[in-house]
Amino acid sequence: MTEATTARVGIVCGSRSDFPVMERAVEMLAKLKVPCELHAISAHRAPDLLFGFIAGAEARGIRVFIAAAGGAAHLPGVVASKTILPVIGVPIPTQVSGGLDSLLSIVQMPKGVPVATVAIGGAENAALLAVEILALGDPALRTRLQAYRDAQTRSIEDDESNSNLR
Ligand code: RP5
């Protein structure tokens, strides 16, 4: 399979104020050559726009959603309610409780409609989890993902072998 040119991952944030965190997911996907879309569509302020975005996504080529929100973070669950594509939730850090509110809102999905939740602010891991899902059906992407992981391991081994600490 060749590199995809249409977006495979749909990233949706509750607000543009979430973009500084979620741009790290965009960068990680770019590193692994996975095209994505980045949107800000609030589940409570613009639900009809959100439903339209979800309804059209699979036909455009989206295979995994990443949904990021802070506070009473219902966006990932609402996205999951309207699709059977995998949804990865990213709890956005908040000033109120450092993002624990976001984490609990996203991770505590009642049974029947799952959201795979990553750490507070875990944009990079959300991207990597999306890549792992896509790589199941894409051998070339699997090779790039394995190379990324190998390079990560090598860099730690190199740092350690160059370290003066004994
Ligand atoms: C959530 O409320 C968003 O995901 C954002 O994290 C938080 C704050 O939103 P704004 O104050 O930027 O509208 O809906």
3-state secondary structure of 45: coil
Confidence (pLDDT) at 112: 98
Domain presence at residue 3: no
In testing the pocket of ligand 1, which one of 17, 45, 95 has its CB within 8 Å of the most ligand atoms?
Answer: 17
* Phi, psi dihedral angles at 130 (to 5 degrees): -60, -40
Domain presence at residue 21: yes
Ligand 1 atom closest to the CA of 43, numbered from 1: 14
Alpha helices by DSSP H, listed for 32-117, are: 47-60, 75-81, 100-107
Domain count, the chain: 1
Domain presence at residue 41: yes
The set of residues, in sequence order, having a beta carbon less than 8 Å from that of 66 and lying 6+ positions away, is 9, 10, 11, 12, 22, 25, 87, 88, 89, 90, 126, 127, 130
For residue 165, what pLDDT band results from cuts at 50, 70 and 90? low
Ligand 1 atom closest to the CA of 14, numbered from 1: 4
Q: What is the DSSP letter of 47?
A: H
Domain presence at residue 112: yes
Structural domain harbouring 52: 9-161
3-state helix, strand, coil in the chain (%, to 5): 50, 15, 35
pLDDT value at 166 more than 80 = no
Ligand 1 atom closest to the CA of 69, numbered from 1: 4
Output the ligand 1 site: residues, CB below 6 A: 13-15, 17-18, 42, 69-71, 92
In testing the pocket of ligand 1, which one of 11, 15, 75 has its CB within 8 Å of the most ligand atoms?
Answer: 15
Domain presence at residue 156: yes
Domain presence at residue 2: no
| Alpha carbons 152 and 10: distance in angstroms, whole number | 26
We report the CATH number of the domain holding residue 77 as 3.40.50.1970
Is residue 42 a contact partner of residue 51, using CB atoms and an 8 Å limit?
no
pTM for this one?
0.95
Domain presence at residue 166: no
Domain presence at residue 65: yes
Per-residue pLDDT tens over the stretch 38-62: 999 999 999 999 999 999 999 999 9
Take atom 13 of ligand 1 and give the residue whose Cα is closest. Answer: 15
